[in-house]
Amino acid sequence: MFDWYKSSAAVERKTFWACFAGWALDALDVQMLGLIIPALTAVFALTKTEAGLISSLTLVASALGGWIAGSLSDRIGRVRTLQIAILWFSICTFLSGFAQDYTQFIALKTLQGFGFGGEWTAGSVLLSEVIAARNRGRAMSATQSAWSVGWGAAVLLYALAFSWLKPDIAWRAMLIAGLIPGLLVLYVRRHVPEPKRIASAPEAQAKLPLTAIFGPRTLRVTLIGGCVGLGAHGGFIVLSTWLPTFLRTERHLSVLHTSGYLAVLIFAFFCGYVSVGYLLDRFGRRPTIILFAFACTAMVVLYTLLPLTDHQMLAMGFPLGFFAAGIPGSMGALFSELYPSGIRGSGVGFCYNFGRIASAAFPVLVGKLAEGSTLGNAIGITAAVGYGIVALSVLLLPETRGRDLDTVTTAETTPPAELGPTSR
Protein backbone atom coordinates (compact mmCIF):
# COMPACT_ATOMS: atom_id res chain seq x y z
CA MET A 1 0.00 0.00 0.00
CA PHE A 2 2.96 2.29 0.65
CA ASP A 3 5.14 1.01 -2.18
CA TRP A 4 4.35 4.21 -4.10
CA TYR A 5 6.45 6.16 -1.61
CA LYS A 6 9.51 3.96 -2.08
CA SER A 7 9.36 4.40 -5.85
CA SER A 8 8.82 8.17 -5.71
CA ALA A 9 11.47 10.72 -6.68
CA ALA A 10 13.01 12.98 -4.04
CA VAL A 11 10.97 16.01 -5.11
CA GLU A 12 7.76 13.98 -4.85
CA ARG A 13 8.58 12.89 -1.30
CA LYS A 14 9.49 16.41 -0.16
CA THR A 15 6.32 17.84 -1.67
CA PHE A 16 4.25 15.09 -0.09
CA TRP A 17 5.63 15.79 3.38
CA ALA A 18 5.11 19.53 2.99
CA CYS A 19 1.45 19.02 2.05
CA PHE A 20 0.99 16.32 4.70
CA ALA A 21 2.37 18.59 7.42
CA GLY A 22 0.31 21.54 6.22
CA TRP A 23 -2.93 19.56 6.37
CA ALA A 24 -2.06 18.06 9.77
CA LEU A 25 -1.39 21.52 11.17
CA ASP A 26 -4.65 22.75 9.66
CA ALA A 27 -6.45 19.94 11.48
CA LEU A 28 -4.64 20.80 14.69
CA ASP A 29 -5.92 24.36 14.58
CA VAL A 30 -9.47 23.44 13.54
CA GLN A 31 -9.93 20.61 16.06
CA MET A 32 -8.63 22.82 18.86
CA LEU A 33 -11.70 25.01 18.49
CA GLY A 34 -14.10 22.18 19.27
CA LEU A 35 -12.07 21.21 22.32
CA ILE A 36 -11.86 24.70 23.84
CA ILE A 37 -15.49 25.72 23.24
CA PRO A 38 -16.50 24.92 26.86
CA ALA A 39 -13.70 27.15 28.18
CA LEU A 40 -14.62 29.93 25.77
CA THR A 41 -18.25 29.68 26.80
CA ALA A 42 -17.29 30.17 30.42
CA VAL A 43 -14.78 32.99 29.85
CA PHE A 44 -16.91 35.05 27.44
CA ALA A 45 -20.31 33.96 28.84
CA LEU A 46 -21.45 32.70 25.44
CA THR A 47 -24.84 31.33 24.49
CA LYS A 48 -25.01 28.13 22.46
CA THR A 49 -25.91 30.21 19.41
CA GLU A 50 -22.87 32.44 19.84
CA ALA A 51 -20.61 29.42 20.29
CA GLY A 52 -22.03 27.78 17.18
CA LEU A 53 -21.60 30.96 15.17
CA ILE A 54 -17.82 30.72 15.62
CA SER A 55 -17.73 27.40 13.76
CA SER A 56 -20.22 28.53 11.12
CA LEU A 57 -18.32 31.70 10.20
CA THR A 58 -15.02 29.83 10.16
CA LEU A 59 -16.56 27.26 7.79
CA VAL A 60 -17.87 29.91 5.39
CA ALA A 61 -14.56 31.78 5.49
CA SER A 62 -12.62 28.59 4.75
CA ALA A 63 -14.79 27.96 1.69
CA LEU A 64 -14.22 31.47 0.40
CA GLY A 65 -10.53 31.14 1.19
CA GLY A 66 -10.39 27.98 -0.90
CA TRP A 67 -11.89 29.75 -3.91
CA ILE A 68 -9.55 32.70 -3.54
CA ALA A 69 -6.46 30.54 -3.03
CA GLY A 70 -7.34 28.38 -6.02
CA SER A 71 -7.53 31.39 -8.28
CA LEU A 72 -4.41 32.89 -6.71
CA SER A 73 -2.43 29.69 -7.25
CA ASP A 74 -3.24 29.90 -10.96
CA ARG A 75 -1.83 33.43 -10.99
CA ILE A 76 1.23 33.42 -8.73
CA GLY A 77 1.96 29.69 -8.34
CA ARG A 78 1.04 26.79 -6.09
CA VAL A 79 4.04 27.00 -3.73
CA ARG A 80 3.79 30.73 -3.09
CA THR A 81 0.05 30.47 -2.40
CA LEU A 82 0.66 27.56 -0.02
CA GLN A 83 3.18 29.65 1.92
CA ILE A 84 0.79 32.57 2.19
CA ALA A 85 -2.05 30.32 3.41
CA ILE A 86 0.11 28.64 6.08
CA LEU A 87 1.38 31.95 7.42
CA TRP A 88 -2.13 33.41 7.36
CA PHE A 89 -3.82 30.75 9.44
CA SER A 90 -0.83 30.44 11.81
CA ILE A 91 -0.73 34.16 12.60
CA CYS A 92 -4.52 34.42 12.99
CA THR A 93 -4.62 31.42 15.32
CA PHE A 94 -1.81 32.92 17.38
CA LEU A 95 -3.51 36.30 17.65
CA SER A 96 -6.84 34.73 18.64
CA GLY A 97 -5.12 33.52 21.82
CA PHE A 98 -4.95 37.16 22.93
CA ALA A 99 -8.59 38.04 22.21
CA GLN A 100 -10.15 40.05 25.02
CA ASP A 101 -13.80 39.56 24.10
CA TYR A 102 -16.14 37.55 21.89
CA THR A 103 -16.09 40.08 19.04
CA GLN A 104 -12.31 40.03 18.76
CA PHE A 105 -12.19 36.24 18.96
CA ILE A 106 -14.81 35.56 16.30
CA ALA A 107 -13.24 38.12 13.96
CA LEU A 108 -9.81 36.48 14.24
CA LYS A 109 -11.19 32.94 13.86
CA THR A 110 -13.10 34.01 10.77
CA LEU A 111 -9.90 35.41 9.28
CA GLN A 112 -8.12 32.18 10.22
CA GLY A 113 -10.70 30.28 8.19
CA PHE A 114 -9.53 31.94 4.97
CA GLY A 115 -6.06 30.48 5.46
CA PHE A 116 -7.40 27.06 6.40
CA GLY A 117 -9.41 26.72 3.19
CA GLY A 118 -6.60 28.15 1.09
CA GLU A 119 -4.03 25.67 2.41
CA TRP A 120 -6.03 22.62 1.31
CA THR A 121 -6.64 23.94 -2.19
CA ALA A 122 -3.07 25.09 -2.87
CA GLY A 123 -1.54 21.95 -1.36
CA SER A 124 -3.90 19.60 -3.16
CA VAL A 125 -3.20 21.09 -6.59
CA LEU A 126 0.54 21.26 -5.90
CA LEU A 127 0.80 17.59 -4.95
CA SER A 128 -1.39 16.44 -7.84
CA GLU A 129 0.97 18.12 -10.32
CA VAL A 130 4.15 16.74 -8.77
CA ILE A 131 3.27 13.13 -7.95
CA ALA A 132 3.38 10.38 -10.61
CA ALA A 133 -0.01 9.66 -12.18
CA ARG A 134 0.12 5.99 -11.23
CA ASN A 135 0.52 6.98 -7.56
CA ARG A 136 -1.68 10.08 -7.43
CA GLY A 137 -4.67 8.52 -5.66
CA ARG A 138 -2.56 6.91 -2.92
CA ALA A 139 -0.35 9.93 -2.37
CA MET A 140 -3.22 12.40 -2.13
CA SER A 141 -5.36 10.22 0.12
CA ALA A 142 -2.31 9.62 2.33
CA THR A 143 -2.01 13.40 2.58
CA GLN A 144 -5.66 13.56 3.67
CA SER A 145 -4.82 11.07 6.45
CA ALA A 146 -2.83 13.90 8.04
CA TRP A 147 -6.16 15.18 9.32
CA SER A 148 -6.22 12.27 11.77
CA VAL A 149 -2.67 13.09 12.87
CA GLY A 150 -3.59 16.72 13.50
CA TRP A 151 -6.79 15.67 15.26
CA GLY A 152 -4.86 13.38 17.58
CA ALA A 153 -2.26 16.08 18.21
CA ALA A 154 -5.01 18.53 19.18
CA VAL A 155 -6.40 16.04 21.71
CA LEU A 156 -2.93 15.53 23.23
CA LEU A 157 -2.25 19.27 23.34
CA TYR A 158 -5.63 19.79 25.01
CA ALA A 159 -4.86 17.13 27.62
CA LEU A 160 -1.48 18.70 28.42
CA ALA A 161 -2.70 22.31 28.50
CA PHE A 162 -5.76 21.68 30.64
CA SER A 163 -3.84 19.35 32.98
CA TRP A 164 -1.10 21.86 33.76
CA LEU A 165 -2.86 25.20 33.40
CA LYS A 166 -6.08 26.78 34.59
CA PRO A 167 -8.90 26.62 32.00
CA ASP A 168 -8.98 30.39 31.48
CA ILE A 169 -5.28 30.27 30.55
CA ALA A 170 -5.07 26.82 28.94
CA TRP A 171 -7.20 27.70 25.90
CA ARG A 172 -5.04 30.76 25.23
CA ALA A 173 -1.86 28.69 25.47
CA MET A 174 -3.23 26.21 22.91
CA LEU A 175 -4.05 28.95 20.41
CA ILE A 176 -0.76 30.78 20.94
CA ALA A 177 1.00 27.51 20.08
CA GLY A 178 -0.79 27.79 16.74
CA LEU A 179 2.04 30.02 15.54
CA ILE A 180 4.37 27.01 15.37
CA PRO A 181 2.92 25.78 12.03
CA GLY A 182 4.28 28.95 10.44
CA LEU A 183 7.73 27.37 10.64
CA LEU A 184 6.61 24.96 7.92
CA VAL A 185 6.99 27.84 5.46
CA LEU A 186 10.76 27.63 5.92
CA TYR A 187 10.72 23.99 4.82
CA VAL A 188 8.48 24.74 1.85
CA ARG A 189 10.70 27.60 0.67
CA ARG A 190 13.82 25.45 0.89
CA HIS A 191 12.68 22.08 -0.40
CA VAL A 192 9.52 22.39 -2.52
CA PRO A 193 9.88 23.71 -6.10
CA GLU A 194 7.05 25.13 -8.18
CA PRO A 195 5.66 22.43 -10.53
CA LYS A 196 6.08 22.88 -14.26
CA ARG A 197 3.40 25.12 -15.75
CA ILE A 198 1.97 24.49 -19.19
CA ALA A 199 -0.24 26.59 -21.41
CA SER A 200 -3.92 26.26 -20.65
CA ALA A 201 -6.82 26.27 -23.07
CA PRO A 202 -6.98 29.50 -25.17
CA GLU A 203 -10.35 30.49 -23.76
CA ALA A 204 -9.02 30.16 -20.21
CA GLN A 205 -6.08 32.45 -20.95
CA ALA A 206 -8.43 35.21 -22.04
CA LYS A 207 -10.37 35.25 -18.76
CA LEU A 208 -9.80 35.41 -15.06
CA PRO A 209 -9.13 31.86 -13.81
CA LEU A 210 -12.21 31.74 -11.59
CA THR A 211 -14.40 32.78 -14.51
CA ALA A 212 -12.76 30.32 -16.89
CA ILE A 213 -14.05 27.26 -15.05
CA PHE A 214 -17.52 28.26 -16.21
CA GLY A 215 -16.46 28.37 -19.87
CA PRO A 216 -18.12 26.18 -22.52
CA ARG A 217 -15.55 23.37 -22.25
CA THR A 218 -15.47 23.25 -18.47
CA LEU A 219 -18.95 24.28 -17.33
CA ARG A 220 -20.35 20.75 -17.23
CA VAL A 221 -17.61 19.24 -15.07
CA THR A 222 -17.58 22.32 -12.85
CA LEU A 223 -21.29 21.95 -12.08
CA ILE A 224 -21.04 18.18 -11.62
CA GLY A 225 -17.88 18.51 -9.52
CA GLY A 226 -19.67 21.05 -7.35
CA CYS A 227 -22.43 18.49 -6.82
CA VAL A 228 -19.86 15.90 -5.72
CA GLY A 229 -18.53 18.40 -3.18
CA LEU A 230 -22.07 19.22 -2.05
CA GLY A 231 -23.04 15.60 -1.45
CA ALA A 232 -19.74 14.68 0.21
CA HIS A 233 -19.76 17.61 2.61
CA GLY A 234 -23.52 17.33 3.16
CA GLY A 235 -23.38 13.67 4.15
CA PHE A 236 -20.40 14.23 6.41
CA ILE A 237 -21.82 17.30 8.17
CA VAL A 238 -25.06 15.41 8.89
CA LEU A 239 -23.05 12.70 10.65
CA SER A 240 -20.78 15.06 12.56
CA THR A 241 -23.61 17.40 13.59
CA TRP A 242 -26.57 15.14 14.37
CA LEU A 243 -25.41 11.56 14.90
CA PRO A 244 -23.76 12.19 18.30
CA THR A 245 -26.90 14.03 19.44
CA PHE A 246 -29.11 11.14 18.31
CA LEU A 247 -27.01 8.49 20.03
CA ARG A 248 -26.67 10.50 23.22
CA THR A 249 -30.24 11.79 23.65
CA GLU A 250 -32.37 9.04 22.09
CA ARG A 251 -30.17 5.99 22.63
CA HIS A 252 -28.58 7.28 25.85
CA LEU A 253 -25.15 5.91 25.00
CA SER A 254 -22.37 7.08 27.32
CA VAL A 255 -19.44 5.85 25.22
CA LEU A 256 -19.60 9.05 23.18
CA HIS A 257 -17.86 10.83 26.04
CA THR A 258 -14.96 8.37 26.32
CA SER A 259 -11.44 8.72 24.99
CA GLY A 260 -11.73 5.16 23.67
CA TYR A 261 -14.48 6.10 21.23
CA LEU A 262 -12.50 9.14 20.08
CA ALA A 263 -9.38 7.02 19.58
CA VAL A 264 -11.36 4.49 17.49
CA LEU A 265 -12.76 7.27 15.28
CA ILE A 266 -9.36 8.90 14.73
CA PHE A 267 -7.75 5.57 13.85
CA ALA A 268 -10.67 4.66 11.57
CA PHE A 269 -10.35 7.95 9.69
CA PHE A 270 -6.63 7.38 9.21
CA CYS A 271 -7.19 3.87 7.86
CA GLY A 272 -10.01 5.05 5.59
CA TYR A 273 -7.91 7.83 4.07
CA VAL A 274 -4.94 5.56 3.41
CA SER A 275 -6.97 2.61 2.09
CA VAL A 276 -9.12 4.58 -0.34
CA GLY A 277 -6.00 5.75 -2.17
CA TYR A 278 -5.04 2.17 -3.01
CA LEU A 279 -8.54 1.49 -4.33
CA LEU A 280 -8.52 4.72 -6.37
CA ASP A 281 -5.33 3.73 -8.16
CA ARG A 282 -6.25 0.05 -8.46
CA PHE A 283 -9.90 0.20 -9.56
CA GLY A 284 -10.46 3.81 -10.61
CA ARG A 285 -12.05 6.95 -9.23
CA ARG A 286 -15.68 6.31 -10.09
CA PRO A 287 -16.19 2.75 -8.74
CA THR A 288 -14.25 3.51 -5.55
CA ILE A 289 -16.18 6.66 -4.70
CA ILE A 290 -19.51 4.98 -5.47
CA LEU A 291 -18.56 2.04 -3.23
CA PHE A 292 -17.77 4.33 -0.33
CA ALA A 293 -20.95 6.37 -0.89
CA PHE A 294 -23.15 3.27 -0.63
CA ALA A 295 -21.15 1.95 2.34
CA CYS A 296 -21.58 5.26 4.21
CA THR A 297 -25.32 5.17 3.60
CA ALA A 298 -25.55 1.58 4.85
CA MET A 299 -23.59 2.38 8.01
CA VAL A 300 -25.80 5.37 8.83
CA VAL A 301 -28.93 3.25 8.40
CA LEU A 302 -27.51 0.61 10.75
CA TYR A 303 -26.56 3.24 13.30
CA THR A 304 -30.01 4.79 13.33
CA LEU A 305 -32.10 1.60 13.18
CA LEU A 306 -30.24 -0.98 15.27
CA PRO A 307 -30.62 -0.90 19.09
CA LEU A 308 -26.91 -0.49 19.80
CA THR A 309 -25.22 -0.93 23.16
CA ASP A 310 -22.16 1.06 24.20
CA HIS A 311 -19.81 -1.75 23.20
CA GLN A 312 -21.53 -2.30 19.85
CA MET A 313 -21.37 1.38 19.03
CA LEU A 314 -17.69 1.46 19.92
CA ALA A 315 -17.08 -1.44 17.52
CA MET A 316 -19.20 0.04 14.74
CA GLY A 317 -17.45 3.38 15.10
CA PHE A 318 -14.54 1.97 13.12
CA PRO A 319 -16.37 1.06 9.88
CA LEU A 320 -18.40 4.26 10.05
CA GLY A 321 -15.27 6.40 10.38
CA PHE A 322 -13.45 4.31 7.77
CA PHE A 323 -16.05 4.81 5.04
CA ALA A 324 -16.83 8.42 6.03
CA ALA A 325 -13.17 9.30 5.43
CA GLY A 326 -13.03 7.66 2.00
CA ILE A 327 -15.01 10.21 0.01
CA PRO A 328 -13.15 13.33 1.24
CA GLY A 329 -9.94 11.38 0.70
CA SER A 330 -10.87 10.92 -2.97
CA MET A 331 -11.80 14.46 -3.91
CA GLY A 332 -8.31 15.95 -4.23
CA ALA A 333 -7.22 13.46 -6.90
CA LEU A 334 -10.57 13.50 -8.72
CA PHE A 335 -10.96 17.28 -8.97
CA SER A 336 -7.31 17.89 -9.93
CA GLU A 337 -7.62 15.53 -12.88
CA LEU A 338 -10.62 17.34 -14.38
CA TYR A 339 -8.96 20.66 -15.26
CA PRO A 340 -6.06 21.98 -17.38
CA SER A 341 -3.13 23.58 -15.59
CA GLY A 342 -4.07 27.23 -16.08
CA ILE A 343 -7.40 26.90 -14.25
CA ARG A 344 -6.79 23.80 -12.13
CA GLY A 345 -6.51 25.71 -8.87
CA SER A 346 -9.73 27.59 -9.55
CA GLY A 347 -11.56 24.40 -10.51
CA VAL A 348 -10.42 22.40 -7.50
CA GLY A 349 -11.11 25.33 -5.19
CA PHE A 350 -14.64 25.78 -6.50
CA CYS A 351 -15.72 22.11 -6.59
CA TYR A 352 -14.50 21.37 -3.09
CA ASN A 353 -15.56 24.60 -1.41
CA PHE A 354 -18.93 25.08 -3.11
CA GLY A 355 -19.93 21.93 -1.27
CA ARG A 356 -18.73 23.38 2.02
CA ILE A 357 -21.04 26.38 1.79
CA ALA A 358 -24.07 24.70 0.19
CA SER A 359 -23.92 21.76 2.63
CA ALA A 360 -24.88 24.13 5.44
CA ALA A 361 -28.50 23.40 4.44
CA PHE A 362 -28.21 19.71 5.35
CA PRO A 363 -28.24 20.03 9.17
CA VAL A 364 -31.24 22.35 8.89
CA LEU A 365 -33.00 19.78 6.69
CA VAL A 366 -32.45 17.12 9.35
CA GLY A 367 -34.10 19.38 11.92
CA LYS A 368 -37.10 20.02 9.68
CA LEU A 369 -37.60 16.34 8.87
CA ALA A 370 -37.24 15.41 12.55
CA GLU A 371 -40.26 17.59 13.37
CA GLY A 372 -42.53 15.14 11.55
CA SER A 373 -40.56 11.95 12.16
CA THR A 374 -37.84 10.57 14.41
CA LEU A 375 -34.37 12.09 14.48
CA GLY A 376 -32.92 8.75 13.40
CA ASN A 377 -35.10 8.63 10.28
CA ALA A 378 -34.24 12.25 9.47
CA ILE A 379 -30.52 11.55 9.73
CA GLY A 380 -30.76 8.43 7.58
CA ILE A 381 -32.81 10.11 4.84
CA THR A 382 -30.65 13.23 4.67
CA ALA A 383 -27.34 11.36 4.71
CA ALA A 384 -28.65 9.03 1.98
CA VAL A 385 -29.56 12.08 -0.13
CA GLY A 386 -26.06 13.50 0.29
CA TYR A 387 -24.22 10.31 -0.59
CA GLY A 388 -26.72 9.57 -3.36
CA ILE A 389 -25.81 12.91 -4.94
CA VAL A 390 -22.16 11.86 -4.78
CA ALA A 391 -22.80 8.52 -6.50
CA LEU A 392 -24.98 9.96 -9.28
CA SER A 393 -22.63 12.89 -9.92
CA VAL A 394 -19.53 10.71 -10.16
CA LEU A 395 -21.28 8.54 -12.75
CA LEU A 396 -21.56 11.65 -14.95
CA LEU A 397 -17.83 12.39 -14.79
CA PRO A 398 -15.12 10.73 -16.90
CA GLU A 399 -12.88 8.11 -15.32
CA THR A 400 -9.53 9.87 -14.76
CA ARG A 401 -7.35 7.15 -13.25
CA GLY A 402 -3.80 7.51 -14.54
CA ARG A 403 -4.50 10.79 -16.36
CA ASP A 404 -1.38 12.72 -17.36
CA LEU A 405 -2.05 16.25 -16.14
CA ASP A 406 0.40 17.76 -18.63
CA THR A 407 -1.82 16.64 -21.50
CA VAL A 408 -5.12 17.99 -20.17
CA THR A 409 -6.27 20.76 -22.49
CA THR A 410 -10.00 20.59 -21.83
CA ALA A 411 -11.88 19.38 -18.81
CA GLU A 412 -13.96 16.70 -20.54
CA THR A 413 -12.42 15.37 -23.70
CA THR A 414 -8.94 14.28 -22.62
CA PRO A 415 -8.83 10.48 -22.24
CA PRO A 416 -7.08 8.99 -19.22
CA ALA A 417 -3.49 7.95 -19.80
CA GLU A 418 -2.57 4.28 -19.62
CA LEU A 419 -1.11 3.22 -16.33
CA GLY A 420 2.54 2.36 -16.56
CA PRO A 421 5.95 3.07 -15.11
CA THR A 422 6.29 6.31 -17.06
CA SER A 423 2.85 7.74 -16.35
CA ARG A 424 3.09 11.02 -14.48
**Number of domains the chain contains:** 2
Return the closest-CA partner of residue 207 out of 81, 347, 415, 85.
347
CA–CA separation, 65 and 112 (whole Å) = 9
Phi and psi (nearest 5°) for 402? 80, 10
Q: Is residue 133 part of a domain?
A: yes
Please state, in angstroms and as integers, the Cα–Cα distance from residue 106 to each residue in 16, 36, 313, following that order.
32, 14, 35
CATH number at residue 295: 1.20.1250.20
Sign of the C-alpha dihedral, residues 107, 71, 73, 277?
A: positive
Q: Are 299 and 247 in contact (CB under 8 A)?
A: no
Q: Are 382 and 304 in contact (CB under 8 A)?
A: no
154 and 118 part of one domain: yes
CA–CA separation, 23 and 148 (whole Å) = 10
Q: Are 23 and 144 in contact (CB under 8 A)?
A: yes
117 lies in which domain range?
7-191
pLDDT tens series, the chain, 424 aa: 567 888 899 999 999 999 998 888 888 887 888 788 888 988 999 887 788 788 778 878 888 898 889 888 888 889 999 999 989 988 999 999 999 999 999 999 999 988 888 888 999 999 999 999 889 999 999 998 898 888 888 888 988 998 999 988 999 999 998 888 778 888 888 889 888 754 444 444 444 556 788 888 889 999 999 999 999 988 888 877 777 667 667 767 665 555 677 788 789 889 999 999 999 999 999 999 999 999 998 988 887 777 777 788 778 889 988 998 889 889 989 999 998 888 889 899 999 888 888 887 887 888 888 888 888 888 888 888 999 999 999 999 999 888 888 766 554 544 444 444 434 4
CA–CA separation, 324 and 243 (whole Å) = 13
Q: Are 410 and 340 in contact (CB under 8 A)?
A: yes
By CB neighbour count within 10 A (0-12 exposed, 13-18 middle, 19+ buried), where does 23 fall? buried
Return the closest-CA partner of residue 127 out of 1, 45, 5, 307.
5
221 and 107 part of one domain: no
Of 153, 174, 191, the residue at which a domain comes to its end is 191
Angle at 136 between CA 414 and CA 357, to 5 degrees: 80
